[in-house]
Amino acid sequence: MTIIFDGLAAGMLLFLISVGLSVTLGLMNFVNLAHGAFAMLGGYVCALLLSRAGVPFLLAVPIAAAVSAAVGVVLERTLYRRLYGASHLDQVLFSIGLNFMAISAAHYFFGAQQQPFALPDFLRGQINLPGLDVGIYRLFLIGIGLILAVGLQWLVSYTKFGAQLRASVDNPRAARGLGINVGRAFTLTFALGSALAGLGGALGIEMLGLDPSFPLKYIVYFLIVVAVGGSGNIKGSLIASLMLGLVDIAGKYYLPQAGAFLIYVVMVIMLIVRPQGLFGRTAAK
């Protein structure tokens, strides 16, 4: 039982970070490998606010998300925008370049060591039920993840903004013709994606750690979630992350000698069976 619970919590954390990527990659069709860099930025902002400025945790996390979103907007306006029409390969190279810059910048400012990080008291500890140890922070993560999943699903599917965004992605020209400000829709979406990355990064320090190699260390996991879940699909990302978290934790527990091997096997099999992802809609282009 504890394994299932830990798996769910790990999966939820994966979801928190990678849902932002699902937004940029899936909805905007931009292969943003620098997503991990935004998550790292959120993580550093949160960690520094906690340790140096003494800001309470629950305030530091939204600030981290806001800072990531702001940086996201600046980069989108100046750089990303030029590459919307480019091939996936160009986007991959461009964002790997950004990753390298982010990694060495983090190295330069904060050093190579792990950032110290302490949770506030009310999120520490465990609740012991018969046959099940529930970490409070993990419970907290699962709660936030569920709220976000529902909120995002509602935002994309049922609001006017969501409709405008989907229209802008599917057919920018027609959308523009209908008076939708496509550029603005993209900027806002990118900000949303970056904010989610920052949020996930801030919430993830406790379980993933935080050091300058973060963007490359975990990017594979985020990509797997998006690729397996189907692009631009909140529900798919959620289910894929939970599955991945479960497989990862269970694999580490029952088959430690297989290591991370299991995850890659699952991913490749998934991609072969369902190239569009679990719940993918067929690509518009």
Partner 1 sequence: MAIIPSPVDLAPLRRAPAWRTAEYICWLLPVAAYFLFPTSLSLLSQMAITGLFALSLDLILGYAGIVSLGHVAFFGVGAYAAGLLAKYGYGDPLLGLAIAGTVAAAVGYLSSFLVLRGSDLTRLMVTLGVAMMLFEAANKLTEFTGGVDGLQGVDMKPVLGLFRFDLYGKTAYWYSVAVLFVFFWLARRIVHSPFGLSLRGIKQNVIRMPAIGAPVHARLAAVYTLGAAYAGVAGALLTQTTQFVSLDVLSFPRSAAVMLMLVLGGTGSLYGALIGTLVFMTAHHFLSNLNPQYWQFWLGAVLVLVVLFARDGIMGIAQTVIKRVRGKA
Q: Which residues bind partner 1 (CB under 8 A)?
A: 25, 31, 79, 82-83, 86-90, 92-94, 96-105, 107-108, 216, 220, 223-224, 227, 231, 257-261, 264-265, 267-268, 271-272, 275, 283
**Quick one: which of 245, 236, 235 has its CA closest to 266?**
245
What's the closest the beta carbon of residue 219 comes to partner 1, in angstroms? Answer: 9
DSSP 275: T
What's the closest the beta carbon of residue 42 comes to partner 1, in angstroms? Answer: 20
- How far apart are the C-alpha atoms of 252 and 247, rounded to whole Å? 8
The three-class DSSP label of residue 46 is: helix
Q: Judged by CB, which is closer to partner 1: 128, or 282?
A: 282
Residue type, 242: L
Q: Judged by CB, which is closer to partner 1: 53, or 89?
A: 89
What's the closest the beta carbon of residue 253 comes to partner 1, in angstroms? Answer: 16
What's the closest the beta carbon of residue 227 comes to partner 1, in angstroms? Answer: 4
Q: What is the residue whose two structure tokens read 């949020």? A: 199
What's the closest the beta carbon of residue 258 comes to partner 1, in angstroms? Answer: 7
- Cβ partners under 8 Å of residue 36, min gap 6: 99, 197, 214, 215, 216, 217, 218, 219, 222
What's the closest the beta carbon of residue 88 comes to partner 1, in angstroms? Answer: 4
**For 281, phi and psi rounded to 5 degrees?**
-90, 150
Q: Judged by CB, which is closer to partner 1: 142, or 243?
A: 243
What's the closest the beta carbon of residue 4 comes to partner 1, in angstroms? Answer: 24
Q: Judged by CB, which is closer to partner 1: 59, or 86?
A: 86
Torsion of CA 205, 115, 40, 65, to 10 degrees: 70
Determine how many CB atoms are found less than 10 A away from the CB of residue 167: 17
Determine how many CB atoms are found less than 10 A away from the CB of residue 278: 18
Q: Judged by CB, which is closer to partner 1: 5, or 221?
A: 221
- Write out the two tokens for 269: 């099999």
In DSSP notation, 169-217 reads HH-HHHHHHTT--HHHHHHHHHHHHHHHHHHHHHHHHHHH---TTHHHH
Q: Judged by CB, which is closer to partner 1: 17, or 227?
A: 227
Q: Judged by CB, which is closer to partner 1: 53, or 272?
A: 272
- How far apart are the C-alpha atoms of 20 and 38, rounded to whole Å? 10
